[in-house]
Structure 1
Amino acid sequence: MNIQNMRRNGFTLMEIIIVITIIGLVVAWAGNRIFGQGDKAKSGLAKARMSEISAQLDMYKLDTGRYPTTAEGLRALLANPGNATNWNGPYVKNADTLKDPWSNEMIYKSPGDANRPFELTSLGADGKEGGEGADRDVRSWD
């Protein structure tokens, strides 16, 4: 076997780099398409957390006869705000339970609008009111 035949049997370094780059681009594109659903999942998780918090707020009301005020906020589920008679909490394990999937505090308002006893809102990925896609606000009443 001569030297010329040996050179043609393998790949050059440049060919290997080009192939690895192409594979990397394909993996990045596919990963974004597959895992880009994460924001949609986080919105669903925010809705599920709101349901859990709503159930704990209902337990709070059963014990105390009222929902926490807006000023007392969701912290009333962790510690007695001081004026809640028959408070039998804590109603949640820790403060992280009261955050949305983007690690922002849930916004609590009581009484809510349209005769709702309370409202919970997550401001989405950007933490600002309004937005589209991942930044869209998630509300307990939607």
Structure 2
Amino acid sequence: MVVKIIVSTDKRAVKEENGDFGFILWEILIVVFLMGIILTLATPHFGSATNQVWIRIDSANRARIEGAVQLYRIDVGVYPLSVTDLVRAPNGMSEWAGPYLDEIPINPFDNAQVYQIGTMGQVK
């Protein structure tokens, strides 16, 4: 007859000898909870990166349009009325040497909103 002496009172150590060792529900819940906290802290950083890209695209579009507006003014003598005048020649415009833009830039924040040109050539 063999007598086993159990020194540890840990239930997992006893189960290990029986071959039923596994994770306790509390351990799994703690790991899931910690993963949730980490994801919650990391998620806002990804959203702000997208917003920063949109801001940079908008700034680049504005600079590109304003540069094209200045070239238009040098050729024609007046500022264009809209961004489409930079892509296609307005009716009756003989001094137009464009196109000054290949295509009309799309606003990254709102695709339906078109860039407007002010009276002094700045983009609104």
Superimposed CA distance per residue, residues 18-77 of structure 1 (whole angstroms, 9 cap, x where no aligned partner): 5245314412321313542432443343222211111111111222222112xxx11111
- Residue 4 of structure 1 is aligned with which of 15, 31, 41? 15
Runs of 4+ more than 3 Å apart: 12-18
After TM superposition, list the pairs within 5 Å mapping 1:76-115 onto structure 2: 76-95=85-104, 97=105, 99-102=106-109, 103=111, 104-109=113-118, 111=119
Counterparts of 1:3 and 1:61, CA distance in 2: 87
Kept in 1, the 8 Å contact 2:80–2:117? The answer is: no
d(CA) in 2 for partners of 1:82, 1:12: 78
Are 1:119 and 2:122 an aligned pair? yes
Q: TM-score, normalised by structure 2?
A: 0.66
Is 1:49 matched with 2:61? yes
Pairwise CA distance, 1:13: 6.2
2:3 is matched with which residue? none
- Max Rg structure: 2
- CA 1:14/1:85 → structure 2, altered by over 3 Å: closer, same or farther? farther
Q: Which runs of 5+ in 2 are unaligned?
A: 1-12
Quote the RMSD (CA, aligned, Å): 2.7
Output one character per residue of 1:101-141: Cα deviation in whole Å (capped at 9) or x when no partner: 213321222x2xxxxx22312xxxxxxxxxxxxxxxxxxxx
- Unaligned 5+ runs, structure 1: 112-116, 122-142
The number of aligned residues is 108
Secondary structure in structure 1 of the residue aligned to 2:117: strand
Structure 1 counterpart of 2:10: none
Mapped to 2, the partners of 1:40 and 1:85 lie a distance apart of: 41
1:39 alignment counterpart: 51
